[in-house]
Structure 1
């Protein structure tokens, strides 16, 4: 009965919107997982490029966190419900945690690059769902979030190149 209290009026197709909400909740969970992993690596990076990597990872973590409220609010604007706890995030995330005691800087950059590219895939899948639902607003936001994740992956790739 609580869900009726959260009903948000929308003119979009209810069944197709559930697919959009589900895709956005996965992206939200993965964004939190990626944020925490990026902060973890920011805190634990070491080596000759420490300062550059430390600062880049902090900037990337902040950018990832900045998207989370917009993602969750988009789910709510279209009548869905979103994640409620760390446990809920864990049940929805597809990006793996990294609890290793030590990870080399190069491995950190590679892992985060692959995670950002995995997020890009999820964003593209969500875009297809948004298009099918006629959800133009979500569609447009997904373009911006995809560009941001692609940029992070590019920076991580370039920073990790040996030369």
Structure 2
């Protein structure tokens, strides 16, 4: 009998076979469920914000078209780059992740914008607020990780908070008026 099987109880083997996607982890099942739920909400928000950012990128117009178009493309790339590490982290802790657009729509907290036309400064303001919402969600997810001593997920979240705050800052500065006020 292989050494791994010798060290694992028959009951544990049967349970693992019934739940084949549960990755072995030292986190308790409750921790994996709590962190997985928090991170799936983050993943849904990131996908929603990614698509909204690309939507505004594609439909940008006006005298600052090039600058805004490039800014939103860069920000969309940052958001998309977050998706795989988030999903893989969820799997590493023994949880399962989003499976469809429908699952995203049920889980997301970032609101969609299906308007035919949005003014450029309104696009920037909406994305700025959405990034603030994402930062808030990331902080809440960090608290869940802290509760369960999941240092690795918390560490990733800290970097994503910094990136999200940077996007918020850039959107704020890009939308400022000549008098030094922002929206």
TM-score w.r.t. length of structure 1: 0.97
**How far apart in 2 are the matches of 1:159 and 1:10?**
44
Higher relative contact order (CA 8 A, sep 6+): 1
Whether the 8 Å CA contact 1:17–1:130 is kept in 2: the answer is no
Shift of 1:118: 0.1
Which residue is equivalent to 1:128?
A: 143
TM-score w.r.t. length of structure 2: 0.87
**How far apart in 1 are the matches of 2:49 and 2:18?**
29
Deviations 1:61-118 (A, max 9, x none): 0000000000000000000000000000000001000000000000000000000000
Deviations 1:6-35 (A, max 9, x none): 011111122122111101000000000000
- SS of 2:19's equivalent? helix
Displacement over 3 Å in runs of 4+ = none
Are 1:52 and 2:70 counterparts? no
Shift of 1:3: 6.6
Are 1:117 and 2:136 counterparts? no
How many residue pairs get aligned? The number is 163
**How far apart in 1 are the matches of 2:168 and 2:22?**
37
**How far apart in 1 are the matches of 2:125 and 2:161?**
19
The 5 Å alignment of 1:15-34 reads 15-34=30-49
Where does the alignment leave 5 or more consecutive residues of structure 2 unmatched?
1-14, 179-183
Larger Rg belongs to? 2
Deviates more, 1:6-15 or 1:69-78: 6-15
Which residue is equivalent to 1:86?
A: 101
**How far apart in 1 are the matches of 2:28 and 2:136?**
24
Are 1:38 and 2:53 counterparts? yes
Greater share of residues in helix: 1
